[in-house]
Amino acid sequence: MVSLLTIGLSDMRTYFVRTIGLVLFAVLLLAQCTSERDSSAAGDSSMQISPSDEFKVMTFNLRYDNPDDGENKWSNRKTFASDVIRNSGASMIGIQEGLHHQVVGLDSLLPDFTYVGVGRDDGATKGEYTAIFVDTTRLEVIEESTFWLSETPDRPSVGWDASMERIATYALVMPRQKGQGTMQRTMQGTVQRTMAFGNRPLLVVNGHFDHRGKTSRTEAARLIQDKVEELRQFGAMEAVPVIVMGDFNASPSSEAMGVFSSFLTDAYHGATTSPEGPVATYNAFEVIDGGYQDPEGRIDYVFLSDEFAVNSYAAIDEIRDGRYVSDHFPILVGLSVQKQ
């Protein structure tokens, strides 16, 4: 070790100059490395949804865990269901009919996902969910809620001529960036981050309409339209992109689906490539080779706002151990942002 006591004044001056020079060099080098690292992180868009990226969404009626389903009971299908979701590459999945233990069980089988939603009977854990599963490696939820498809949407209730409680769940999501934490709204209601969609989140709504009440289906669609228009005005920002999906128990020519088509695009008709798989989406667990081609049998949908281009559409009719994954075909849609 060099000691100042052992060197002369001239040598001491030289020593200090060299030392200061080394310190300045180290500081400049560190600043350059930090700048390059920050630039690299800022330019890393792998966790964003940008106009050049495709992402996928899925609507999936799980079929509730009915003990009378025999070989098609949930315990025989749950691994199949999680595999379908995982293999699809979907970032967001809207499920219908899932009971609490089904939703929690799927969540445990999908470690990269989280879900939002509640049971329709009590707004907690009882009854079927319209949960939305979100890939947390790509997206984060900044707001979510469930509402009842009825005249009193803020509490458990049966609407119009429906046979039972029906619900829809929504989530406002943002693409996640590496190294950044959860976002918060400011006092003005804006989001403190510059992201894809021009500082806007993405609104996803997942619903399940009644299978009997025709009036309830139409009114439920109108209620969702009103909710979408309300939620699209996120603080002071421009209208956000919207995805509405679910099991709507209605044919494409129905009045209810006409409501959605009046302000959104049906992904089945918007795809730039030919739709794959069956046309009709309900199969009752009956495997029919080449079947389910009736257009009026399509009751599961993905609707989109104009910000999206539909790159692909597929009804998944995979068979494992002689059975389908559910009594509905999951619908998988590939999307990209075409307008910011």
Pair of tokens at residue 249: 């128990």
Which pLDDT does position 53 carry in this prediction? 72
Instruction: Specify whether 34 is located in the same domain as 51.
Output: no
Instruction: Specify whether 85 is located in the same domain as 222.
Output: yes
Number of CB atoms found within 10 A of residue 200's CB: 22
Instruction: Specify whether 36 is located in the same domain as 53.
Output: no
Instruction: Specify whether 118 is located in the same domain as 231.
Output: yes
Nearest alpha-carbon partner for 50 in 203, 133, 174: 174
Region 57-74: mean pLDDT is 98
- Contact of 310 with 267, CB cutoff 8 Å: yes
**What does the alpha-carbon distance between residue 304 and residue 337 come to, in Å, rounded to a whole number?**
11
- 182-191 contact pairs (CB < 8 A, 24+): 182/140, 182/142, 183/140, 183/142, 185/142, 185/235, 186/235, 188/235, 188/236, 189/234, 189/235, 189/236, 190/234, 190/235, 190/236, 190/237, 191/142, 191/234, 191/235, 191/237
**What does the alpha-carbon distance between residue 156 and residue 165 come to, in Å, rounded to a whole number?**
7
Rounded to the nearest 10°, the torsion over CA 214, 218, 221, 227 is -120
Which pLDDT does position 306 carry in this prediction? 94
Half-sphere exposure of 123 (CA within 13 A, CB side): 10
Confidence of residue 178 (pLDDT cuts 50, 70, 90): low
Does the structure show a pLDDT above 70 at 328? yes
What's the total number of domains in the chain? 2
Instruction: Specify whether 16 is located in the same domain as 129.
Output: no
Which pLDDT does position 237 carry in this prediction? 58
Instruction: Specify whether 127 is located in the same domain as 166.
Output: yes
Instruction: Specify whether 15 is located in the same domain as 67.
Output: no
- Residues ≥6 apart with Cβ < 8 Å to 31: none
Instruction: Specify whether 34 is located in the same domain as 112.
Output: no
Region 4-19: mean pLDDT is 44
- Residues ≥6 apart with Cβ < 8 Å to 40: none
Instruction: Specify whether 172 is located in the same domain as 37.
Output: no
Backbone angles phi, psi at 126, to 5 degrees: -95, 140
Which pLDDT does position 337 carry in this prediction? 87
Q: Which range, of 36-45, 119-128, 132-141, 301-310, averages the lowest pLDDT?
A: 36-45
Instruction: Specify whether 75 is located in the same domain as 145.
Output: yes
Q: Which range, of 45-59, 86-100, 118-132, 315-329, averages the lowest pLDDT?
A: 45-59
In SS3 terms, 272-326 reads as CCCCECCCCCECCCCCCCCCCCCHHHCCEEEEECCCEEEEEEEECCCCECCECCC
Does the structure show a pLDDT above 70 at 49? no
Q: One-letter amino acid identity for 230?
A: E
Which pLDDT does position 40 carry in this prediction? 38
Instruction: Specify whether 31 is located in the same domain as 153.
Output: no
Which pLDDT does position 340 carry in this prediction? 55
Which pLDDT does position 189 carry in this prediction? 34
- Residues in the chain, total: 340
Instruction: Specify whether 78 is located in the same domain as 13.
Output: no
Region 105-129: mean pLDDT is 98
What percentage of the chain reaches a pLDDT higher than 90? 72
Single pTM value for the model: 0.81
Which pLDDT does position 192 carry in this prediction? 34
For 274-315, write each residue's pLDDT tens digit: 999 999 999 999 999 999 999 999 999 999 999 999 999 999
DSSP lists the bridge partners of residue 332 as 58, 314
Residue 213's CATH number:
3.60.10.10
How confident is the prediction for the chain on average, in pLDDT? 84
DSSP lists the bridge partners of residue 336 as 54, 309
Q: What range defines the domain where residue 307 resides?
A: 44-337
